[in-house]
Structure 1
Amino acid sequence: MSDIVTAAVEKLNEKIDGGFSAGTAKFVIEGEGAIVIDENGARASDDDADVTLTADVETFQGMLDGSVNPTAAFMGGSLSVDGDMSMAMQLGAALV
């Protein structure tokens, strides 16, 4: 597992303290790995999910630190979403 994924799992667990009850979401960080978020919190995993969000390292880190708005990243093409769009929006709101 990459250092970026390890750090992202820690940061996501801080942001979604108590887990993400809306379903199962996966972040794919290009060239680094994947993170699954569910009612148990975030963990490094490439399991199937209801929605998959894919971004490069810079975009993903920006979403975590608040310098990149997830909606703007999606509209600008630096974040792709595959699956349940409403769940992706809920996750985006939970990360702010």
Structure 2
Amino acid sequence: MTKQELVQKMQENQAWVPGKTVKLDFGDQGVILLDGAGSQVSETDSPADTTIKTSWDDWQKMAGGELDGMTAFMTGKLKIEGDMSNAMQLQGVLAKLRG
């Protein structure tokens, strides 16, 4: 899946935390902004309540269920800046994408 396909799928599945902004930062692969306040998903790099930093490869593994989010966090493959509770809520949102 490409990043643009992921943005599209997240938009269709309303993959955001209501009223909050969460940025997925993939480093050199760019960002995806999940804007729960504006009810949209985009590739806009703007400030967010929570920023989740991980590599695109590790993200793909987590999305595919090969890598547990908590394990990724504990081993430093996933970094969270800002409001941690938004990141926890996002796990449920991402489960919908797999479903």
Task: Classify the TM-score, shorter chain.
Answer: 0.7 to 0.9
SS in 1 for 2:80: strand
Identity of aligned pairs, percent? 31
Q: CA offset at residue 27 of structure 1?
A: 0.2
Q: How does 1:12-31 map to 2 (within 5 A)?
A: 12-14=10-12, 16-17=13-14, 19-31=16-28
Q: CA offset at residue 60 of structure 1?
A: 1.1
Matched, 1:37 2:34: yes
- Tell me the TM-score normalized by structure 1: 0.82
Check 1:12–1:66 CA distance in 2 against 1; reply closer, same or farther (3 A cut).
farther
Q: CA offset at residue 4 of structure 1?
A: 3.4
Q: Distance in 1 between matches of 2:21 and 2:90?
A: 10
Check 1:76–1:90 CA distance in 2 against 1; reply closer, same or farther (3 A cut).
same
Check 1:76–1:22 CA distance in 2 against 1; reply closer, same or farther (3 A cut).
farther
CA displacement 1:14-73 (0-9 Å, x = unmatched): 4x4374305100000121101100221321110110000010111111222332222221
- Tell me the TM-score normalized by structure 2: 0.80
Structure 1 unaligned segments of length 5 or more: list them: none
RMSD, aligned CA: 2.0
Find runs of 4+ consecutive structure 1 residues off by over 6 angstroms. none
SS in 2 for 1:31: helix
Q: Distance in 1 between matches of 2:21 and 2:77?
A: 21
Contact 1:13/1:41 (CA < 8 Å) preserved in 2?
yes
Residue identity opposite 2:2 in structure 1: I
**Counterpart position of 2:93:** 94
Paired residues, what number? 93
